[in-house]
Structure 1
Amino acid sequence: MLRDLFTNITLLAGIASWLAAQFIKLFLFLWRERKFDYGFLFRLGGMPSSHTSSAAACATSVGLRAGWNSPVFAVAVGLLALIMIDAQSVRRAAGVQARLLNQMAEEFYRNHKFSPEKLVEFLGHTRLEVLMGALLGIGMALLMHHVWPWPT
């Protein structure tokens, strides 16, 4: 059973793609800010979308293994679409609302000498970040399927 998990190429492609996206975010932050922050490995938002990357890798892997016309691939693409929409609209809107609430709280607490706990503002993605995540995921799945000899 445990061996099955470590040879499940769909699962491994999703995990590898998520890790690659998170490390890309970390290196982009390092390049832009000239400082190292391990926290970027676990943050939401930014370039590229790791959720989209992972879902795209899984969907591509399912398509390669089960067939592009299989019902399982259709479900995987449906889930990928939901994740992409969530990443660029719902979570992005939540980030904008968090930013506004933080501004309101800061102004309120400045007058009352309190220190507010800030909400996370960096939640969602731009269309480009989602697109780059999808391309990374597709590329990672193709790489894993065509370079290494995985059991069928």
Structure 2
Amino acid sequence: MDEVMTAADATSATASTSTSFTASTASIQANLALTSAFVACAVAQFLKLFTSWYKDRRWDTKRMVDSGGMPSSHSATVTALTVAVALDQGTGGAAFALALVLALVVMYDATGVRLHAGRQAELLNQIVCELPPEHPLSTVRPLRDSLGHTPVQVVAGAILGCIVAYLMRAA
């Protein structure tokens, strides 16, 4: 048996899909943890523009999309996520445990592996610069050396994440 879709059926299906999408969008906007994490990341990346100006006395808009620098946007993001989950659902559930472990791993990685990888990149870039022009590696593009964060940058990002989550909760 072939079913025939009438115009009324199509209109009803479209209205149902539209309502479902609107409800889905509203639930994402109401998700404190998700919006706090995204806002904290955006604010941290924006602040890098000013902290890099303070340090270098020049405006570098590229800093708003680069990794590394003050404050750590990774730390701000995962801390805002963790604090928002704690405020919204409490600290006794699996969601808080997941968010906390994720935050600790990200912040440890930022001050450990990524920081040291950036320092190694600095040294390798210096070595390549000192090579004679005829050396095959003398024309290699420099490695990115702004990868990780100092502990102060991570703590600043974590404080920012806490502030954003509390402010988002109050809003």
Matched length: 147
Aligned counterpart for 1:128 among listed residues 152, 158, 167: 152
User: Which consecutive segments of 4 or more residues in structure 1 shift more than 4 A?
Assistant: none
Aligned counterpart for 2:58 among listed residues 35, 48, 54: 35
- Give, in angstroms, the shift of residue 9 of structure 1: 1.6
Greater mean deviation of Cα atoms: 26-35 or 59-68: 26-35
Deviations 1:84-143 (A, max 9, x none): 001000100110111111122222254538422010001111111111111100111011
Q: Give TM-score, length-normalised by structure 1.
A: 0.90
Identify the structure with bigger relative contact order (alpha carbons < 8 Å, sequence gap 6+): 1
Measure the CA separation in 1 of the matches of 2:165 and 2:132. Answer: 49
- Give, in angstroms, the shift of residue 29 of structure 1: 1.6
Aligned counterpart for 2:108 among listed residues 78, 85, 93: 85
Aligned to 1:22: 45
Aligned to 2:122: 99
1:121 is paired with a residue whose SS is coil
RMSD: 1.5
- Give, in angstroms, the shift of residue 19 of structure 1: 1.1
2:53 is paired with a residue whose SS is helix
Unaligned residue ranges in structure 1 (runs of 5+):
none
Q: Give TM-score, length-normalised by structure 2.
A: 0.80
CA contact (8 A) 1:14 1:54 kept: yes
Larger Rg: 2
CA contact (8 A) 1:109 1:116 kept: no
Aligned counterpart for 2:70 among listed residues 47, 53, 57: 47
